[in-house]
């Protein structure tokens, strides 16, 4: 079982804002990173650290954290944002990596 918990599925209307959350005790100590994965492709980093975007990631993607919950927000969701999103961080020991179970985002 994963030490990071995500909602299995979320939907958003085209152009609207959606928040995807990730909960876990280790997030009180460590930031989460977020990855986008489209069918048949490798995951791509979209948010890391406090709220950092790698080069090439649109600024409609943002991250935040409060207590044991990290959030990925997409402001003005586009059709191409439809994908699976995974959070990850260290576990509570700090020695191992852990992923959330993933959230399937549908853009309506």
Partner 1 sequence: QVQLQESGPGLVKPSGTLSLTCAVSGGSISSSNWWSWVRQPPGKGLEWIGEIYHSGSTNYNPSLKSRVTISVDKSKNQFSLKLSSVTAADTAVYYCARVVDVVVITFDPWGQGTLVTVSS
Q: Which long-range contacts (CB under 8 A, 24 or more apart) does 18-21 make?
A: 18/73, 18/74, 18/77, 18/105, 19/71, 19/72, 19/73, 20/71, 20/72, 20/73, 20/74, 20/85, 20/103, 20/105, 21/69, 21/70, 21/71, 21/72
Least distance in angstroms from the C-beta of 32 to partner 1 = 7
Least distance in angstroms from the C-beta of 33 to partner 1 = 4
Q: In terms of CB distance, is 48 or 69 closer to partner 1? A: 48
Q: In terms of CB distance, is 76 or 104 closer to partner 1? A: 104
Residues that bind partner 1 (CB under 8 A): 2, 30-33, 35, 42-45, 48-49, 54, 86, 88-90, 95-102
Least distance in angstroms from the C-beta of 16 to partner 1 = 26
């Amino acid at each position: 079982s994963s030490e990071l918990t995500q909602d299995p599925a979320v939907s958003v209307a085209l152009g609207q804002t959606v928040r995807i959350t990730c909960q876990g005790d280790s997030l009180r100590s460590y930031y989460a990173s977020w990855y986008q994965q489209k069918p048949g492709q490798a995951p791509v980093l979209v948010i890391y650290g406090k709220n950092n975007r790698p080069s090439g990631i649109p600024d409609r993607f943002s991250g935040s954290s409060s207590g044991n919950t990290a959030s990925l927000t997409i402001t003005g969701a586009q059709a191409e944002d439809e994908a699976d999103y995974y959070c990850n961080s260290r576990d509570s020991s700090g020695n191992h990596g852990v992923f959330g179970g993933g959230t399937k985002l549908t853009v309506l």
